[in-house]
């Protein structure tokens, strides 16, 4: 079976597992198992590793289950959002040696899900990873112009956010924007041609923004990391791979707060945490993939890995 997704930064992950206190023995929670690329590699490499594999998308979790059948005795599955890890894993508090996050969506979502994650295919706008909440169709067709512009600007860092939102509002007069193709064409026309960047589709940032909004992706990361820290054994490691600066900033800030002894969530008032660091940060700057990896897998080009260890 050909898998759509190629796992990224595998050598770096192996290094952080091999160099840890338990050297690949114990429990790893793969919070974003996807089609199981990382998990398959880790189970084949570390004979004393058990994996708890999680994904909020039931379809892709099924694909992982089929792929990882040879390792069935060492793997359990949870179909849920990683922002609820404590709910599932509280009985293992202090006994988990690794948490792995590989944020965003899988190539499976882009190429095979049929849920409208990309302008590269003409599909109905949806973009939900687990069918919950509002769809991309609902956002694009019912949110007012200001709210749309805010989403494109905040979650896509799109400088033409207002022009694009106005173009969507005008297009809706003739009927709903139903497909990825229609949305991509509206964005393409709204951004002046001289600002189109070669090799990057002008709708890239808008699609990213809508996807992040629909799945509430940033809040999920913020909620999950604190729980992962509490569930981890001492000497255990959290390894997080981000694909854009908004994700990476949340990981960086969370690790930094933990390293200063603060367990509060971002923006929490009346923080009284003080003193002893709770984790050691093992990646002062995020690690980037090697050139050879980017050459063989272009999706790896924006990956950044951060790792911290519980003290």
Ligand X SMILES: C[S@@+](CC[C@H](N)C(=O)[O-])C[C@H]1O[C@@H](n2cnc3c(N)ncnc32)[C@H](O)[C@@H]1O
Least separation, in Å, of the C-beta of 146 and ligand X?
A: 27
Instruction: Give 7 or 156: the residue with its C-beta nearer to ligand X.
Output: 7
Q: How many residues bind ligand X (CB under 6 A)?
A: 23
Q: Are 246 and 221 in contact (CB under 8 A)?
A: no
Cβ-count burial of 280 within 10 angstroms (0-12 exposed, 13-18 middle, 19+ buried)? middle
Contacts of 159 (CB under 8 A, 6+ apart): 153
Assign 179 to helix, strand or coil: strand
Among 17, 29, 38, 50, binds ligand X (CB under 6 A): 38
Helix residue ranges per DSSP H, the chain: 10-18, 37-45, 58-67, 85-89, 107-112, 136-142, 145-156, 161-172, 180-190, 204-215, 217-231, 245-259, 291-296
Q: Give the nearer residue to ligand X in terms of CB position, either 107 or 179.
A: 107
Task: Give me the 126-165 binding string for ligand X, x by CB under 6 A, dash otherwise.
Answer: ---x------------------------------------
Mask 65-94, x = binds ligand X (CB under 6 A)? ----------------xxx-----------
Within 174-233, the residues that bind ligand X by CB under 6 A are: 220
DSSP annotation of 173 reads T
Q: Which is closer to ligand X, CB of 56 or CB of 97?
A: 56
The site for ligand X (CB under 6 A) is made up of 5, 7, 31-32, 34-38, 54-57, 60, 81-83, 102, 104-106, 129, 220
């Amino acid at each position: 079976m050909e898998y759509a997704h190629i796992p990224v930064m595998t050598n770096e992950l192996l290094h952080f597992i091999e160099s840890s206190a338990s050297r690949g023995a114990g429990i790893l929670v793969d919070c974003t198992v996807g089609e199981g690329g990382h998990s398959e590699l880790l189970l084949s490499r570390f004979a004393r590793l058990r994996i708890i594999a999680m994904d909020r998308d039931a379809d892709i979790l099924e694909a992982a289950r089929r792929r990882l059948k040879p390792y069935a005795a060492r793997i359990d599955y949870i179909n849920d959002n990683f922002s609820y890890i404590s709910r599932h894993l509280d009985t293992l508090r202090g006994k988990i040696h690794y948490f792995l996050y590989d944020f965003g969506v899988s190539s499976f979502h882009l190429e095979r899900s049929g849920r409208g994650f990309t302008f590269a295919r003409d599909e109905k706008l949806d973009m939900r990873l687990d069918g919950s909440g509002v769809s991309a169709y609902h956002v694009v067709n019912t949110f007012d112009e200001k709210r749309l512009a805010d989403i494109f600007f905040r979650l896509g860092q799109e400088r033409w956010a207002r022009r694009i939102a106005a173009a969507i509002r005008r297009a809706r007069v003739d009927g709903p924007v139903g497909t990825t193709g229609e949305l991509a064409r509206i964005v393409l026309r709204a951004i002046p041609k001289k600002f189109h960047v070669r090799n990057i589709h002008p709708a890239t940032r808008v699609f990213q923004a809508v996807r992040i909004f629909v799945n509430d992706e940033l809040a999920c990361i913020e909620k999950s990391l604190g729980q992962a820290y509490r569930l981890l054994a001492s000497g255990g490691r959290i390894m997080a791979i981000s694909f854009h600066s908004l994700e990476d900033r949340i990981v960086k800030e969370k690790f930094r707060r933990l390293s200063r002894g603060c367990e509060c969530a971002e923006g929490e008032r009346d923080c009284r945490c003080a003193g002893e660091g709770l984790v050691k940060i093992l990646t002062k700057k995020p690690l980037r993939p090697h050139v050879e990896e980017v050459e063989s897998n272009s999706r790896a080009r924006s990956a950044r890995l951060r790792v911290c260890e519980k003290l």
